[in-house]
Amino acid sequence: MSAAESAHEFSMKAIDGKQVDLKQFAGKPVLFVNVASQCGYTPQYKGLESLYRKYKDQGFVIVGIPANNFGSQEPGTNEEIATFCKRNYDVSFPMMSKVDVKGGSMTPLYGYLTKTSGDVKWNFTKFLVGKDGKIMQRFEPGVDPMAAELTSAIEKALK
């Protein structure tokens, strides 16, 4: 388990292989979402992109984190995932390299995100992290990206 006190303490690889230090998001609310290309919730990419475009100019960021932990619904390579997201949903928010979001090889960021709320149960679980990198709220996969409960939480985080 992580002794970290902020999501800003981690780094990950972007989908293109470049190292991303999450402290670059300090001062911005971030929605971390574990994503998959072959899931019943995959169409949420459209809503996530709409959400990102609606709030990005105010400093909001979405970080998509592909994971193949649930029903083998993200079998592709990073390159295939990036192509899928761009071609089908015109995704412009940051995407990380595919990682594990549960189990023994869980990426450290998810150790931090799930420390108090329990394991991620399925694709498209959303964690809203405040400007300080601390977890504000968790939204389960069935919560649509444009749902009022999520947009109001983002608006609160932006204040």
Report the CATH number at residue 61: 3.40.30.10
pTM, two decimal places: 0.96
Q: Are strands 11-13 and 126-129 parallel, antiparallel or unpaired?
A: unpaired
Identify each DSSP E strand in 14-125 by its residue range.
19-21, 30-35, 61-66
Residue 65's pLDDT is what? 98
Domain contains 1:
no
Domain contains 128:
yes
- Among candidate residues 39, 67, 106, 153, the one labeled active-site is 39
Domain contains 2:
no
Summarised one tens digit per residue, pLDDT across range 15-68 is 999 999 999 999 999 999 999 999 999 999 999 999 999 999 999 999 999 999
Contacts with 54 (C-beta within 8 Å, 6 or more apart), sequence order: 151
Specify whether the CB–CB gap between 95 and 80 falls below 8 A: no
Number of domains in the chain: 1
- How distant is the alpha carbon of residue 132 from its chain centre? 17
Domain enclosing residue 86, as ranges: 7-158
Q: Is 54 exposed, middle or buried (0-12, 13-18, 19+ CB in 10 A)?
A: middle
User: Does residue 85 have an active-site annotation?
Assistant: no
Domain contains 121:
yes
